[in-house]
Structure 1
Amino acid sequence: MADNSYDAIVVGSGISGGWAAKELTEKGLKVLLLERGQNVEHVKDYKTATQAPWEIPHRGRRTVEMTENHPNLRRDYVLNEQNLDWWAHESDSPYVEKKPFTWFRGYQVGGRSLLWGRQSYRLADVDFEANLKEGIAIDWPIRYKDIAPWYSYVEKFAGISGNKDGLAILPDGDFQPPMPLNCVEKDVAERVKKAFDNKRHIIIGRPANITQPLEGRVQCQYRNKCWLGCPFGGYFSTQSSTLPAAMKTGNLTLRPWSIVTKLMYDKDSKKATGVEVLDAETNETYEFNAKIVFLCASAFNSTAILMRSATDIWPDGLGSSSGELGHNVMDHHFRLGANGIAEGYEDKYYFGRRPTGIYIPRFRNLDGEKRDYLRGFGYQGAASRSGWSRNVAEMNFGAQLKETLSEPGPWSMGITAFGEILPYHENTIKLSKDVKDKWGLSVLEMNAEIKENEKKMRVDMMNDAAEMLEAAGLKNVNTFDAGYTFGQGIHEMGTARMGRDPKTSVLNGNNQVWDAKNVFVTDGAFMTSAAAQNPSLTYMAMTARAADFAVNELKKGNL
């Protein structure tokens, strides 16, 4: 096999790309895994993961210089000195905001699998059926039963901890033992369940943090430093999990600093022949050939690659024949909810820094209830005690202050809502005609916004939060709405949706591009609707499913 020829090429090494590489190599294919950014080696390159705060120049916080140099990253928590190099730099990789859009990207081996919040939930039957029943966009080409075995498959390997809660809206999975609710959360959960006639549930979050050893990984150490890389492998990432499995086969070639500029397409066979790569360090161009290509570069970047491909046949790019490529941008809108004080628990505390909180599954617009908006939302949050850094206004100096701060502060609990955004055709991305990145490639223009449906939903998202905390007996309950900018959920989805008809979708039910059947897109671009749950587990399951299909089709000679 020539150096530039492989059985399969995987573009992107994040959550989806890592799974594609693992599945394809384990099935015997020689695979080239391309990553546009730097290599990050497990443990070795987690440079700040074991540092104490006083060992970091600015205690891990952002500096004035960082704030000035990163106008997009500074919009949220992601800007800090401990892992700055794991977020894409705007000066190298800008984008255009036709409407306000916050886009946080991870350009390195592992992508955002090193940075994600790890909340891992299955979509339910109602999520796959909603578009068809409500006449929104197009119907998903699959149902829950089609993906359920693949959810189980990836849960077992990734290591998802959680409780079997028996809720139809949030199907149970193959879990490791759950992390515990703390004393306040347990009491609040019981009171909410009783107050709302068993129709609202507070459960422990289901994170990709293992609670038992798994495949050479050590269980979570309750350090809550996941965003710095975990030397123990306590949470699922490409580095801790899928990449070692792929490397073990001897079938993987990893090439960092490799920006895929386009797919090479043969109009006679109607298939891709490989990819064109721009070396991010030398600016040299290379071509790599393969029988199949998996695009896993993150939703918008995979779509951008399609837009730059086969433009001599389709001016808007490979996969654009339906008119849907770049459309139907989705995210989860959030940053609102409620908090309050829990009295009477001053003699109680909890163990360590638990890397997950509580989850409240969707309860609106179910079982015949109809609000003045479609779909629904869930909540994430936690109860905790404030620490030494709290401000005690009435004891603001001297020994009295020191003595007070040596004890934990009062218990409080907060919950933040995450709501579904409908797939609107007019929410789009497209290639800019004017702005280029560091390497001379056209950047993306973002043109997306929430609409009346989501704005009406946000009223309930905030009021329902307060209603539950008050029903649970919390005091001084306050609501909050910090405002939402599209993209802040870091759950960008859509732009190359799945469907049943090539006239209305970019991909079929096996994640194949209708216009090139040996090209598969298995990151967030394929999502036909967003649901209210965190989407990464669905990307994993769909990637494993598509890889299995692709190899079987390859063996049959259909690709």
Structure 2
Amino acid sequence: MNQEETYDAIVVGTGISGGWAAKELTENGLRTLVLERGRMVEHLKDYPTMNDDPWDYAYKGELSKDEQKKYHVQSRVNWAPKDDNKHFFVNDLEHPYVETKRFDWIRGYQVGGRSLTWGRQSYRWSDIDFGANKKENIGVDWPVRYTDISPWYDKVEEYIGVSGENLGLKQLPDGKYQPAMKLNCVEEVFKKETAEKFDDGRLVTIGRTAHITDPNANFEGRGTCQNRDRCSRGCPFGGYFSSNSSTLPAAERTGNMTLRPNSIVYEIIYDDTTKMATGVKVIDAETHEELEFKANVIFLCASAMASVGILLQSKSERFPNGLGNDSDALGRGIMDHHYKLGASAKVDGFLDKYYKGRQPTGFYIPRFVNLDENTKREGYLRGFGYQGRASRGDWSESIAELSYGKELKQEIIKPGHWTIGVTGFGEFLPYDDNRVTLSPTEKDKWGLPQLAFDVEFKENEYNMREDIKKQIEVMFKAAGFKEISTYDQVTGPGLGIHEMGGARMGHSPKDSIVNKNNQVHLVPNVYVTDGAFMSSSSCVNPSLTYMAFTARAANHAAKEFKAGKFS
């Protein structure tokens, strides 16, 4: 590639945010170079396990002992990597980092990033979320509110396809939805019992998920969800949203995108004369060749922690502590969501009922605490929601019967009893001493400093975790479920795979890194639109918000570029 050419824009990363940046910039006419540190993955062509069956794998799809060593961090989530999707997760031996305190960093280095494996739950933030920091004098105030982002939520939802149900809740704004998926019979009973037994705003709804459900809708080559629940392998139907099936092909269709995989961006080049960025420094992941690419606009979408690392490495005489970091806020305020806690229970009856397919979403219980004086909780701020499903067991329940012969054969073709389970997702406050830095001693295989994580749960988080367990137990009891068991597994931050913060949005460069348009305050032609810009975490899955802010920022950048602000 010609390193002397100056592109209109460079996008770093191809995941949820990078795909949207590429799409919006190229559709606005900007010649855009998209850089991805991982390998090339093309939609359909590079989903090698998309149609495999469970019996195609040894060890029931679990990794061998030798393979487990390669994914010792990634495997902390339990559901991945497996033999059918390990190619979409990083080899931890090849991509180490420093855990000053435990931090579970789950990554996927390939074109599409984690958009190929994300959970696809898609919820809007409300003004309760955007206003919480100011109201409680925590962290920094968001310089935007819901009305600023609402039209961009509309745009994203209509483009990617989100199925769901509008509810009219102040804490969970309604959206532009495809037809909702269905609750099964036990989930419907749980919904009914919750509505009847509680008067504090608790309710059960179907999860809002980025899957196409309308067969008559036109999504440019994407089809409807087939209820296969093989999503983390890559969907050949394009039924769920990913960069590979949606935004990157849209960018490619414009003729304005140049995509270069295996390109590790490690520094943004700053010009002290123009007070602008002029490009990026890159190491070729395969050859280790050092390259530089020039552009008038830089979009940093490498994933939250990686983007923070690039900013920290972007040192110059003007910015000795990292690009735009006069405030020393860079790398601070790292957050995640609670995960690996909740409850399960046995459900009597309904043995004459079953469900069809493997629906990729279950039920959702929106936040119902700390919304007003009537729902205020002592011991912690903010709130949480629940995600779960009810299902029937399988033939393995028959083992306990010690049956054999004809009786065993009859039993193993029957589905087991119904059970129900939920996981709580709670908000994590933005603490300045929860931070990521560059290790002064540890390097990766390309000679770049490893990230060092010093992040932990604090009293507010631990108190919330206790109430997450308590409240779902109360709800299960009210619904008449049996053998209720709560759980709270030992984890570190990061395991929710919603890591965010480190280059927070705010009003001033004195205490934040980016402004209301996602521009670095002190270097306005650099935009940060992945999870790094988050100033608080809400309790809902964040990817929809990343996409909405990215689309908004890319259109702002295009206008500024065309007005000559960055040349």
> Shorter-normalised TM-score: what interval?
over 0.9
Matched, 1:323 2:298: no
Q: Which deviates the most, 295-304 or 399-408? A: 399-408
In structure 2, how many angstroms separate the alpha carbons of the residues matched to 1:531 and 1:429?
Answer: 20
- Give distance in 2, aligned partners of 1:164 and 1:76: 31
One-letter identity of the residue aligned with 1:94: P
Instruction: Give, as a single letter, the amino acid of the residue that structure 1 aligns with 2:513.
Output: V
**Higher alpha-carbon deviation: 407-416 or 6-15:** 407-416
Partner of 2:256: 251
User: What is the CA-CA distance between 1:315 and the residue it aligns to?
Assistant: 2.1
Aligned to 1:54: 55
Residue 166 of structure 2 aligns with an amino acid whose one-letter code is K
Shift of 1:478: 1.5
1:521 paired residue among 516, 528, 552: 528
Q: 2:493 matched to 1:486?
A: yes
The number of aligned residues is 559
Residue 552 in 1 paired to residue 555 in 2?
no
Distance 2:432 2:331 in 1: 9
Instruction: Give the conservation status (yes or no) of the 8 Å contact 1:72–1:90.
Output: yes
The answer to whether the 8 Å contact 2:74/2:107 transfers is: no
Q: Within 2, Cα distance between the matches of 1:41 and 1:358? A: 32
2:31 equivalent in structure 1: 30
The answer to which of 191-200 and 521-530 deviates more is: 191-200
Q: 2:145 is matched with which residue?
A: 143
What percent of counterpart residues are identical? 55
Task: Using the TM superposition, give the Cα deviation of residue 57 of structure 1 relative to its aligned residue in structure 2, in angstroms.
Answer: 4.0
Farther off after superposition, 283-292 or 221-230: 283-292
Given that 2:200 and 2:368 are in contact with CA atoms closer than 8 Å, whether structure 1 keeps it comes out as no
Matching of residue 356 in structure 1 with residue 361 in structure 2 = yes
Distance 1:374 1:224 in 2: 35
Q: 1:154 aligns with which of 150, 153, 156?
A: 156
Maintained 8 Å contact 1:38/1:108: yes
- The reply to whether residue 192 of structure 1 matches residue 194 of structure 2 is yes
The runs of 4+ residues in structure 1 deviating greater than 6 Å are none
The whole-number CA distance in structure 2 between the counterparts of 1:263 and 1:355 is 39
2:18 match: 17
> Counterpart of 1:504 in 2: which secondary structure?
coil
TM-aligned CA distance change 1:322 to 1:143, over 3 Å = same
Q: Which amino acid aligns with 2:447?
A: G
Report the 3-state secondary structure (helix = DSSP H, G, I; strand = E; otherwise coil) of the residue aligned with 1:389.
helix
After alignment, is 534-543 or 195-204 more displaced?
195-204
Of 207, 210, 213, the residue aligned with 2:212 is: 210
Most deviating of 368-377 and 108-117: 368-377
Task: Provide the residue aligned with 1:164 in structure 2.
Answer: 166
List gaps (5 residues or longer) in structure 1. Answer: none
Alignment partner, residue 538 of structure 2? 531
Matches within 5 A, 1:445-456: 445-456=452-463
- The alpha-carbon distance between structure 1 residues 330 and 391, as it changes in their structure 2 partners (threshold 3 A), is farther
Query: For residue 86 of structure 1, what is the aligned residue in structure 2?
Result: 88
Report the Cα offset of residue 153 of structure 1.
Answer: 0.3
For 1:124, the aligned partner's letter is: S
Task: Note if contact 1:388-1:407 (Cα within 8 Å) is conserved in structure 2.
Answer: yes
Aligned 8 A contact 1:346 1:410 in 2: yes
The offset of 1:395, in angstroms, is 3.3
Tell me the residue number matched to 2:376. 370
Cα shift at 1:396: 4.4
What's the offset of the Cα at 1:340? 1.2
Residue 100, structure 1, aligned to residue 102, structure 2: yes
d(CA) in 2 for partners of 1:2, 1:341: 63
Give per-residue Cα distances to partners, 1:403-462, cap 9 Å, x unaligned.
112011111111111110000000000001111111110010000000000111111100
Q: Give the whole-Å Cα distance in 1 for the aligned partners of 2:24 and 2:69.
A: 42
Counterpart-to-counterpart distance in 1, 2:541 and 2:207: 11
Match of residue 334 from structure 1: 339
Indicate which of 230, 239, 242 corresponds to 2:244. 239
Please show how residues 402-417 of structure 1 align to structure 2 within 5 Å: 402-417=409-424
Q: CA RMSD in A?
A: 1.3
Q: Is the 8 A contact 1:329 1:423 kept in 2?
A: yes
Distance, in Å, in 2 between the alignment partners of 1:319 and 1:45 is 38
Is this contact kept in 1: 2:398–2:411, CA < 8 A? no
Q: CA deviation at 1:2?
A: 6.0
Q: 2:306 is aligned with what amino acid?
A: N
Structure 2: unaligned runs, 5 residues or longer: none
Task: Kindly provide the amino acid, as one letter, of the partner of residue 11 in structure 2.
Answer: V
1:85 positional shift: 2.0
